[in-house]
A and B are shown apart, each in its own frame.
Chain A
Amino acid sequence: MKILAVDDDEIILSLLAGTLDAFGHTDYKLAQSGEEALTLIKASETKFDCFLFDIQMPGMDGTELCRSVRCLDGYENTPIIMITAMNNKDYFDRAFLAGATDYVTKPFDITELNTRLSLAERLQNEFTRLGSAQESTASGIEGIQFEEPVRLPKVEGVLPSSVIGNYLSQMVQSNATTLQVFAIRIPELKSVFEGSSVDEFVYVIADIVEVISEIVTGYQGLTSYFGSGIFVCVCPSDDLPHEKEIEKVLKIRMNDPELVYCEDVSVTFSVLVGRPSSTSFFRQNSPFELFGMAIEAVNTDESPTLISKAFQFVKDLETRLSA
Chain B
Amino acid sequence: MENEAIKKIENQLKQKMQTVRLRFVDTLNTRIVDLDSLLVAMITTDNARNELAEIEAHAHKIHGISGSIGLSRLGALAAQLERILYENRVGSHMPDLTFVKELTNSLLDEMENVLEEQT
- Which residues of A line the B interface, CB within 8 A? 9, 11-12, 14-15, 18-19, 21-23, 56, 85-86, 106-110
> Which A residues lie within 8 Å of B68 (CB)?
15, 106-110
- In the complex, A21 Cα to B16 Cα: how many Å? 9
* Additional pairs, 7, CB under 8 Å, beyond known A15-B17, A107-B75: A11-B27, A18-B19, A19-B13, A85-B79, A107-B67, A108-B68, A110-B17
B65 and A11 contact, CB distance less than 8 A: yes
Shortest beta-carbon distance, B73 to chain A, in Å?
Answer: 12
- In the complex, A56 Cα to B61 Cα: how many Å? 10
In residues 1-43 of chain B, which contact A (Cβ within 8 Å)?
Answer: 9, 12-13, 16-17, 19-20, 23-24, 27
Closest to A109 in B: B68
> Which B residues lie within 8 Å of A15 (CB)?
16-17, 20, 65, 68-69
B20 and A14 contact, CB distance less than 8 A: yes
> Which B residues lie within 8 Å of A108 (CB)?
68
Shortest beta-carbon distance, A129 to chain B, in Å?
Answer: 29
> Which B residues lie within 8 Å of A86 (CB)?
86
> Which A residues lie within 8 Å of B61 (CB)?
9
| Best-surrounded residue of B16, B63, B67 (most CB of chain A within 10 A) | B16
Q: A11-B23, A14-B23, A56-B60 are in contact. Are A107 and B65 (CB under 8 A)?
A: yes
Shortest beta-carbon distance, B23 to chain A, in Å?
Answer: 6
- In the complex, A22 Cα to B13 Cα: how many Å? 6
Q: Interface size for chain B: under 10, 10 to 19, 20 to 34, or 35 or more residues?
A: 20 to 34
- 20 contacts across the A-B interface (CB closer than 8 A): A11-B20, A11-B27, A11-B65, A15-B17, A15-B20, A15-B65, A18-B16, A18-B17, A19-B13, A22-B12, A22-B16, A56-B60, A85-B79, A106-B64, A106-B65, A107-B63, A107-B65, A107-B68, A107-B75, A110-B17
- In the complex, A103 Cα to B86 Cα: how many Å? 20
A85 and B20 contact, CB distance less than 8 A: no
- Which residues of B line the A interface, CB within 8 A? 9, 12-13, 16-17, 19-20, 23-24, 27, 60-61, 63-69, 75, 79, 82, 86
Complex partner residue of B64 from A19, A107, A109, CB under 8 angstroms: A107
> Which A residues lie within 8 Å of B66 (CB)?
107
Complex partner residue of B9 from A11, A23, A85, CB under 8 angstroms: A23
- In the complex, A11 Cα to B63 Cα: how many Å? 12
A106 and B27 contact, CB distance less than 8 A: no
Shortest beta-carbon distance, A281 to chain B, in Å?
Answer: 19
> Which B residues lie within 8 Å of A23 (CB)?
9
> Which A residues lie within 8 Å of B19 (CB)?
14, 18
> Which A residues lie within 8 Å of B64 (CB)?
9, 12, 85, 106-107
> Which A residues lie within 8 Å of B69 (CB)?
15, 107
A21 and B12 contact, CB distance less than 8 A: yes
Shortest beta-carbon distance, B68 to chain A, in Å?
Answer: 4
Shortest beta-carbon distance, B117 to chain A, in Å?
Answer: 18
> Which B residues lie within 8 Å of A106 (CB)?
63-65, 67-68
A110 and B60 contact, CB distance less than 8 A: no
- In the complex, A22 Cα to B27 Cα: how many Å? 24
Closest to A7 in B: B64
Shortest beta-carbon distance, B80 to chain A, in Å?
Answer: 12
Q: A85-B63, A106-B64 are in contact. Are A22 and B9 (CB under 8 A)?
A: yes
